[in-house]
Structure 1
Amino acid sequence: MMGKVITVAHLRENTGKTITAIQFAYNLSLEGRVLLLNFGRANQHKRFFEIEYVSPLADYEKLLEGGLDFAHHLSSVSPRLWLIDSSVEKIIKVGELFRERVDELKELLSRSGFEWVIIDTHPFPTHTTYVSMAICDHLLIPTTKDFLAFKTFGHTVAAYESVREDAERKNVSILLTKVRNDDLEAEDYERFEMKEAVIGEISMENQDLIGLGWQGLSPGRKVRIRANFEYRKAIQRFLTRLNEEVNG
Structure 2
Amino acid sequence: MGAVLPAVPGTSVEDLARQTKQAALHSGCALVRGLTLDEDAFRLLVRSLGDTVDHKFGEGQSDLLKLNASRDEGKVVTGRGPLPIHTDGLLVGERVDLIILYAAEFSDVPGSGETYVSDQLTAWAEMPEHLRRVLDEYEIEYLVKERGYFPTVPEDWYTIPATRDYGRVKSLNIATAFPEDFTNRSWEVRVKGLDRERSDRFFDELDAFLRSERYAYTHRWEVGDLLIIDNQRTLHGRTAISAGGTRVLFRGQLTLSDAA
Q: TM-score, length-normalised on structure 1?
A: 0.28
Flag the structure with more relative contact order, 1 or 2, with Cα contacts below 8 A and sequence separation at least 6: 2
- In proportion to residue count, which structure has more strand? 2
- In proportion to residue count, which structure has more helix? 1
